[in-house]
Structure 1
Amino acid sequence: MAEREAKIEGVAEVSAMPRLNSLLANGDGKIHVSLSFAVDEQRLRTVSGSASGTVTQTCQRCLEPVPVDVEAEVNLAVALNEEQAKNLPRYYDPLIVEAEDIELLSLIEDELILSLPLVAYHEDCEIQTSFGDADEAARTQETKPNPFSVLAQLKEKADKS
């Protein structure tokens, strides 16, 4: 494909990506994929492109579904083994190919998993805590006696003496 400078564009279903799907609230979603294959000036076979779409994760604040935009950029050079991968220019990530075929969907799936946020949440999520609202917590704090007030009184007495 690199020799022919092939380009692949299309839509992949999230439901066809089992590892990504296991991290989501549901398997709905479509990922737009665009990949270009080429041979660069160093005669390295390369794969570059992007994948983007919207998936649904679980909000970590309210536990409701939240849409999350995912986007992955790929800039890979093909290597036949670990030794070749170590010698690639730094601007390429290695794509170690041990067999004749490359599983492109799995490659895109890996990049999308890496692009997921660590914690998904609604920007305007309002949750009720088991501790009540913030105003009530502030009022409770005001009415509690300060445990260090006894030390302040002892210090005052020591200063006067």
Structure 2
Amino acid sequence: MSEFPRLAHEFTQGALFCRVSGRTDQRGGIALQLMVQGEVELTCQRCLGPLRHAVEIGRTVHLARNETELERLDALPDGDAILVGEKIDLVDLVEDEVLLSLPLAAMHAEGECPAGGAPIFKE
């Protein structure tokens, strides 16, 4: 987690395994296959106690060199496309994917907060 500064603000504990592999297609297009797995601990917004959350991401990201290529790649059904320059920051890319996979409001299911963590809001 220390390699991902933005994620360190979201998790109290946890570990992620990341694998990024590249490929090209017959048209010279470039894509990255991202795989992120692990379990992290979030803070429950209901009781402020720890909440375990499984992360399971498998995604293809097509890398576009210009706007025209971006439009073409965005139409493909097997992934998303992003516009890139000469360099791409893989840490930022992986962080973005993990952040997008997190729940908007991390909470235990109603009635499942641990005994030590009383709900802070009554519904």
TM-score by length of 2: 0.78
5+ residue gaps, structure 1: 1-13, 132-161
Which of 103, 107, 118 is residue 121 of structure 1 equivalent to?
Answer: 107
Instruction: Give the unaligned 5+ runs of structure 2.
Output: none
* Code of the aligned partner of 2:5: P
Q: Flag the structure with more relative contact order, 1 or 2, with Cα contacts below 8 A and sequence separation at least 6.
A: 2
Aligned partner letter, 2:19: S
Matches within 5 A, 1:18-57: 18-24=5-11, 26=12, 28-57=13-42
Q: Alignment identity in percent?
A: 33
Which has a greater percent of helix?
1
Task: Provide closer, same or farther for how the CA distance between residues 19 and 43 of structure 1 changes in structure 2, counting only shifts above 3 A.
Answer: same
For 2:107 and 2:83, the matched residues in 1 are separated by: 35
Q: Which one-letter code corresponds to 2:15 in the other structure?
A: K
Using the TM superposition, give the Cα deviation of residue 109 of structure 1 relative to its aligned residue in structure 2, in angstroms.
Answer: 0.6
Letter in 1 for 2:113: C
TM-score, length of structure 1 as denominator length: 0.62
- Among candidates 15, 23, 28, match of residue 2 of structure 2: 15
Is the counterpart of residue 79 in structure 1 residue 67 in structure 2? no
1:128, distance to aligned residue in structure 2 (A): 5.4
- What is the CA RMSD across the aligned residues, in angstroms? 2.3
Q: Alpha-carbon deviations, 1:26-63, whole Å to 9, x = none?
A: 2x322111222111233311111310111111111110
Instruction: Report whether the alignment pairs 1:61 with 2:46.
Output: yes
1:145 aligned residue:
none
* Bigger strand share: 2
Larger CA Rg, structure 1 vs 2: 1
